[in-house]
Amino acid sequence: MWSAAEITVEIDDVDHPVMIVRIVLPVGTLDLIGNVARIGRTLRIDGAHVQGLTPGALGRGGLNAIGRKLLEEADVDEIVIQGGARTTGQRKGKVPQPIRFPRN
Amino acid sequence: MILRAGDIARPVDVARLLARHGQSLRKAHDTLQRLAAGESVAVELQSRNRERLRAELAKLGVAARSIRVPVADVKRIREHFGLSQAEFAIRFGFEIDTVQNWEQGRNRPDQASQLLLKIIEAYPDDVEAVLTDADG
């Protein structure tokens, strides 16, 4: 999958603790909004919403590549992303399971 | 405005749009969270062109309805029920002087009273039930 060098992460807007982060990938750009908090060596992103890629464009491999990049950029040992309630699809209104990226 | 979510494919753009129209990004994120959870959310947004803002929100999957405080014609409402000023005041919990002042144009009902008068006009029995329940 993509290397860290192929992914760029930019902070687009901040109103602490809410951030909009722009993640530029070889397949397109992903925007993420969420409530960002660093607790010890863990970065938590709560109420996360994303947009910008067609469903399936990322895959688990792409998601892991983003996780590795965020671990590197934030210099933490773990990232926990808790998505907000889904805004489209069959599971609209449901809160998804959190996604964890531990540093291996 | 009262906002309600349809399908929001670009949630970050919804937050950006709300932030461009007066909400802090933090508040915009909170609004987005509540919309995503299925709530209808009352917000104060700044815009010189409400219709354009409404269209932009609709394009992003958010239905927006404006809130307008209705204008109530006290005398017309009272006469519709065939009540004297005193009867109207007693029945709906107003001071008689207040009703007289409204009808004679010495005072205008404030926004909450305008709303109450319109509710009385549309649902008189419900208002009466609330008022009599309050007595126990």
Same domain, B99 and B44: no
Q: Could you say which of A13, A15, A51 has the minimum Cβ distance to residue B11? A: A51
Which of B38, B65, B92 marks a domain boundary?
A: B65
Task: Please report the pLDDT score of residue A20 as a whole number.
Answer: 98
Same domain, B81 and B115: yes
Could you tell me which chain A residue has the CA closest to the CA of B10? Answer: A51
pLDDT in tens, A7-30: 999 999 999 999 999 999 999 999
pTM of the model: 0.82
Q: Give B6's contacts in chain A (Cβ within 8 Å).
A: none
B11–A85 CB contact, under 8 Å: no
Same domain, B127 and B78: yes
B11–A33 CB contact, under 8 Å: yes
How far apart are the CA of B57 and the nearest CA of chain A, in angstroms?
14
Q: Could you say which of B11, B24, B28 has the minimum Cβ distance to residue A87? A: B11
Task: Please report the pLDDT score of residue B135 as a whole number.
Answer: 54
| CATH code, domain carrying B105 | 1.10.260.40
Which of B48, B65, B82 marks a domain boundary?
A: B65
Same domain, B89 and B43: no
Same domain, B100 and B52: no
Percent over 70 (pLDDT), chain A: 100
Which of B40, B65, B90 marks a domain boundary?
A: B65
Q: What are phi and psi of A83, to 5 degrees?
A: -70, 150
Q: Could you say which of B7, B26, B36 has the minimum Cβ distance to residue A15? A: B26
Interface test with B, best of A31, A32, A33 (most B CBs within 10 A): A33
Task: Please report the pLDDT score of residue A54 as a whole number.
Answer: 85
Q: Give B19's contacts in chain A (Cβ within 8 Å).
A: 13, 15
Task: Please report the pLDDT score of residue B49 as a whole number.
Answer: 94
Task: Please report the pLDDT score of residue A52 as a whole number.
Answer: 94
Q: How many CB pairs under 8 A join A and B?
A: 69
Same domain, B6 and B58: yes
Report how far apart, in Å, the C-alpha atoms of A76 and of each of A32, A65, A79, B1, B135 are.
Answer: 19, 15, 7, 41, 62
Same domain, B61 and B87: no
Give yes or no for residue A60 having a pLDDT over 90.
no
Please give the residue range of the domain that contains residue B43: 2-65
CB B9 within 8 A of CB A50: no
B26–A31 CB contact, under 8 Å: no
Q: What are the domain boundaries of chain A?
A: 4-102
Same domain, B38 and B90: no
Task: Please report the pLDDT score of residue A57 as a whole number.
Answer: 84
Instruction: Tell me the residue ranges of DSSP E strands in chain A.
Output: 8-15, 18-25, 28-39, 42-51, 78-83, 99-102
Band (pLDDT 50/70/90 cuts) for residue A46 is very high
DSSP H/E element including B78:
helix B74-80
Task: Please report the pLDDT score of residue B21 as a whole number.
Answer: 97
Interface test with A, best of B29, B32, B62 (most A CBs within 10 A): B29
Q: Give A92's contacts in chain B (Cβ within 8 Å).
A: 7
User: Digits of tens for pLDDT over chain B (136 positions)?
Assistant: 999 999 999 999 999 999 999 999 999 999 999 999 999 999 999 999 999 999 999 999 999 998 888 889 999 999 999 999 999 999 999 999 999 999 999 999 999 999 999 999 999 999 989 988 755 5
Q: How many domains does chain B have?
A: 2
Lowest-confidence region among A44-48, A50-54, B84-88: A50-54
Same domain, B61 and B15: yes
Packed helices B85-92 and B124-134: angle between N→C axes, nearest 10 degrees: 60
Band (pLDDT 50/70/90 cuts) for residue A65 is very high
Task: Please report the pLDDT score of residue B67 as a whole number.
Answer: 85
Task: Please report the pLDDT score of residue B134 as a whole number.
Answer: 54
